[in-house]
Amino acid sequence: MQAVLIKNDLWDYVCGRCKEPETETDSSSTWVKNDLKARSDIILSISPTELKQVKHCETSREMWIRLEEIYQSKGPARKATLLKGLILHKMAEGDDVREHLANFFDTVDKLGDMDVTINPDLLTILLLYSLPASFEVFRCAIESRDELPTPEGLRIKITEESDARRSNCTRGSTSGAMVANKDGGRRAHGGRSEATKGGTEKNSKEEVQATRAQGDRVST
């Protein structure tokens, strides 16, 4: 959101650097116009639930301060919530690995902004044990090393492991489809062979019967 405001030359109005003129002049009209643009950018960047929290704010600066109070609180309750989320959040089977990693490290960054520093080895262990049971072999392999990887290093390894599994599943599905097609072809070919064989046997029987009937007529 801040990047959008900076790009549109509106950040000075939101951060309070460009204050509203005390008297009504041409510059005050310009200020009101640009502040409305800043408010619009903020409204377009937040969810309907967040909009309810700022709907009574009259300036973009007031809206920004309100959002900061809600989401950037540095009190003990906010720290406890983030730490609890970091420790207890687990990835479910089938969840997107990249999204899980992004949420994990986003929480770490938010704690860092509040001067909460977590030991890198502890972060690595927390990340390892946030993975589902299907990563058990991977987890054991990481833990058996002489040194634990850094959290960022582990992030890369988890992504690579996930990509490799996805690739193997794709190849397995393709191979299975090819085998199924081959088996179906064999069965179809076998069916045609049986039908041909049956037709040949039927024709042979009919020829024998016709020959016998002709012999009987000749004898008569």
Radius of gyration for the chain, computed over Cα atoms and rounded to the nearest angstrom: 36
**Cβ-contact 107, 86 below 8 angstroms:** yes
Where do the DSSP E strands lie in the chain? none
Total residue length of the chain: 220
Using alpha carbons, list the distances in angstroms from residue 209 to 46, 174, 199: 90, 53, 15
Q: What pLDDT, on a 0 to 100 scale, did the predictor assign at position 21?
A: 85
3-state secondary structure 146-188: CCCCCHHHHHHHHHHHHHHHHHHHHHHHHHHHHHHHHHHHHHH
What is the DSSP-derived secondary structure letter of residue 116?
-
Q: What pLDDT, on a 0 to 100 scale, did the predictor assign at position 214?
A: 45
Distance in angstroms (rounded) separating the CA atoms of residues 217 and 157: 90
**pLDDT tens digit at each of 220 positions of the chain:** 888 899 889 999 999 999 888 877 777 889 999 999 999 999 998 888 788 889 899 999 999 998 887 776 677 888 898 899 999 989 999 999 999 999 999 899 989 888 899 999 999 999 999 999 999 999 999 999 999 999 999 999 999 999 999 888 877 665 555 545 555 555 555 555 554 555 555 555 555 455 454 444 434 4
